[in-house]
Amino acid sequence: MSNQSKNKSILYVIILILLVFNLGLFYLWQAGKGEKNAVVKVNEEMNATLEERNKAISAAEALIEQYRNDSATLAQNGEKMSTELAARSSEIARLTYLLKKNDKNSRMLVEELTNKIKELGSKLAALENENVQLKDRNDSLQNQNMSLYAKNTNLELESKKLRNLAARLTTQDIRVETLKKQSLTGKEVNTIRARSVDALRISFNISENNVAEAGDREIFVKITGPEGITLSQSGQGGIVELENGKSTKYSYKTSVVFEKDLKQVPSSIWKPSQKLNPGKYSVEVYTEGYLMGSQVVDLK
């Protein structure tokens, strides 16, 4: 064999070796690339599972908090969660604890927890909807109760007002006698001449009233002259407070024991401190801040 042929053979062998070596390198590169892709895929799956795990844990914690709030709302109304909902909430809490404790990402736990969350979430949503409807009904009933309470209060006030009106005492047969004393006999006789009047004899009856309470009554008598001035004597008159917040002067007062039956009040004598002028004189009778009755006499 010539040297030239020998060199060609050696060259072919070297080329073949290089070709095999490159094929081996290509195979190893492809294998490494596949392994790298597999690792990347595994990491991506692990990250996705981890993200799902974290989302599931957050959703579970939020749902458990919602369960507690709904339980507190029911407790305020004297009710409690059903045994089913309590069991579902406990199961979610257990799965959440296992996921937090587990260092590895368990897709089965995540899927189980996600399904439990969906089930409890739909149950709580239905419960909250029922609570909203119940609250609306309660608000409606409360408004009705408030309306009825206001009506009852008004009726009670009106009833009390009517009772107070019914319990008021009234006078009947108010009699005002204007008297003068005869100079010769000293006997008192009636007169209509104002300048001759020495005294007024006032008498009246208190009408029967079964609604009013029996007991002592203080009676205030007001005598008003034609000038609109309340007549009074020193040490007798005063001011009486009226139920409307106002007040008025009176000429004298007396007392009587009222026993619900018709009561005849003893007549009283009132003497003016000076001569009377002609005109109309009114006599008004008050007790407990209201007017019982009145009478007018006209003097010439």
The per-residue pLDDT for range 65-87, each reduced to its tens digit, is: 776 776 776 677 666 666 776 77
52 lies in which domain range?
3-138
The whole-angstrom separation of Cα 50 and Cα 198 is: 116
pLDDT for the residue 214 = 87
pLDDT for the residue 46 = 52
In the listed set 138, 162, 195, which residue is the last one of a domain according to the structure?
Answer: 138
Cβ–Cβ under 8 Å, residues 213 and 167: yes
Instruction: Name residue, tokens 């290509």.
Output: 26
Q: 182 and 131 in one domain? A: no
> What is the arithmetic mean of pLDDT over 262-277?
87
Q: 198 and 85 in one domain? A: no
Is 213 inside any structural domain? yes
Is 239 inside any structural domain? yes
Q: What confidence tier does 284 reach under pLDDT thresholds 50, 70, 90?
A: very high
**Secondary structure (DSSP) of 233-300:** -TTT-EEEE-TTS-EEEESEEEEEEE-SS-EEEEEEEE--SSPPPSEEEEEEEEETTEEEEEEEEEE-
pLDDT for the residue 250 = 92
Q: 191 and 274 in one domain? A: yes
In the listed set 85, 113, 138, which residue is the last one of a domain according to the structure?
Answer: 138
Instruction: Describe the crossing of helices 107-166 and 3-76 by its angle, rounded to 10 degrees.
Output: 20
Is 24 inside any structural domain? yes
Cβ–Cβ under 8 Å, residues 82 and 117: no
pLDDT for the residue 37 = 53
Is 146 inside any structural domain? no
Q: What confidence tier does 29 reach under pLDDT thresholds 50, 70, 90?
A: low
Domains contained in the chain, number: 2
Is 151 inside any structural domain? no
For 200, list phi and psi in degrees, rounded to 5: -115, 130
Give pTM, 2 decimals.
Answer: 0.50
pLDDT digits (tens, 9 = 90+) for 156-199: 767 677 677 777 888 888 898 888 887 777 688 888 888 888 88
Q: 118 and 29 in one domain? A: yes
Residue 40 has pLDDT above 50, yes or no: no
Is 275 inside any structural domain? yes
Q: SS3 for 263?
A: strand
> What is the arithmetic mean of pLDDT over 105-115?
68
Is 129 inside any structural domain? yes
Q: How many residues belong to the chain?
A: 300
Q: 133 and 175 in one domain? A: no
115: left (phi over 0), alpha (psi -120 to 50) or beta: alpha
pLDDT for the residue 32 = 57
Is 149 inside any structural domain? no
The whole-chain average pLDDT of the chain stands at: 76
Q: 196 and 124 in one domain? A: no
pLDDT for the residue 134 = 62
